[in-house]
C-alpha cells in the first residue's frame, strides 16, 4: 500500500523545472524584425532612394560658363570666357572647345557641316570648388 501512495504523490506534485531566463533580443535582431514589417521596408526604401538622389546632386559637376567680355561678331572664336566651378569637387583638365552647329551665308541656301575647334594649348589643370578663371585665346 505504501508503494501506491508514493506513486500518487509523485504524480500530483508539480514538476520542478529550472526557471527560464527571458533574454531580451539583441539590437540587431530587433532592427531586422522591424525592417521585415511593411512600414520598416517602406522607410528603408525611401531613405535609401533619398540618400542616392541627394548624393547625386551633391557631387554633380556644376560648371558655369559666361562670356567675360562683350561678344565680337568679327572674331567670335577669340571671345574670352569665364569658367566657374560651383560644385563641391575639383574639376581637372579643362580645355576650350568651340563648336559650330550650323554655318550659312546670306542669300544662299547652302549650309556647311558642323565642326569643332579645340585648343589643347590653353588647358587648365585644376579648378578647385568655388574657383573661377578666364579662358582666352
Residue 123 domain-assigned (yes or no): yes
Task: Quote the distance between the C-alpha of residue 124 and its chain's center.
Answer: 26
- Do 71 and 128 belong together in one domain? yes
pLDDT bin (cut points 50, 70, 90) of residue 133 is: confident
Residue 57 has pLDDT above 70, yes or no: yes
- Expressed in angstroms, the distance from the first to the final Cα of the chain is 121
pLDDT of residue 10: 56
User: In this structure, what DSSP letter does residue 126 have?
Assistant: E
- Do 49 and 81 belong together in one domain? no
Residue 36 domain-assigned (yes or no): yes
What pTM was estimated for this model as a whole? Answer: 0.51
Instruction: Provide the residue range defining the domain that includes 73.
Output: 63-103+114-135
Number of domains the chain is built from: 2
Amino acid at each position: 500500500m505504501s508503494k501506491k501512495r508514493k506513486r500518487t504523490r509523485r504524480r500530483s506534485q508539480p514538476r520542478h523545472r529550472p526557471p527560464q531566463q527571458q533574454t531580451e533580443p539583441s539590437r540587431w535582431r530587433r532592427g531586422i524584425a522591424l525592417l521585415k514589417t511593411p512600414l520598416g521596408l517602406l522607410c528603408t526604401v525611401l531613405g535609401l532612394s533619398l540618400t542616392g538622389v541627394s548624393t547625386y546632386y551633391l557631387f554633380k559637376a556644376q560648371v558655369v560658363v559666361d562670356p567675360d567680355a562683350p561678344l565680337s561678331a568679327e572674331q567670335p572664336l577669340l571671345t574670352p570666357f569665364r569658367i566657374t566651378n560651383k560644385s563641391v569637387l575639383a574639376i581637372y583638365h579643362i580645355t576650350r572647345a568651340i563648336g559650330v552647329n550650323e554655318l550659312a551665308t546670306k542669300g544662299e541656301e547652302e549650309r556647311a557641316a558642323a565642326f569643332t575647334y579645340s585648343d589643347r594649348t590653353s588647358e587648365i589643370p585644376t579648378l578647385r570648388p568655388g574657383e573661377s578663371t578666364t579662358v582666352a585665346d
